[in-house]
A = this chain, B = another copy of it.
């Protein structure tokens, strides 16, 4: 199991800002599965992922189009996915989509979608 978070590199975000946005994506994915009525399969994947030590990768996307393309593919393939909009108090415009979270899910399903992206 793993989780992938995709970060836009066309925004001017410092490393602390990026870290906060990635954390927001990871927490949102987990909460959506824990707190809402979600697929039984997603709950199983989440449990397995937690037991494996929460493996995550942080990947680059070059712009919003690439981010949305990957997000939509993740949803279509049956993976949990979320998009994060920044509150915009610092560094960037309010409402800007900064990153997308995909998973937790089986590695091969995640790799099918994100395999062409580079590590941040």
**Cβ of A13 to closest chain B Cβ, rounded Å:** 9
**What is the CA–CA distance of A21 and B50 in the complex, to the nearest angstrom?**
14
This chain: copies in complex: 2
Interface size on A, residues (CB 8 A): 32
For A30, list chain B residues within 8 Å (CB).
27, 30-31
26 A-B pairs whose Cβ atoms sit less than 8 Å apart in the complex: A5-B20, A5-B23, A7-B19, A15-B19, A16-B119, A19-B22, A19-B23, A19-B58, A20-B56, A20-B57, A23-B23, A23-B25, A23-B26, A23-B27, A23-B58, A24-B26, A24-B54, A26-B26, A27-B27, A27-B54, A28-B54, A30-B30, A30-B31, A31-B50, A53-B87, A55-B87
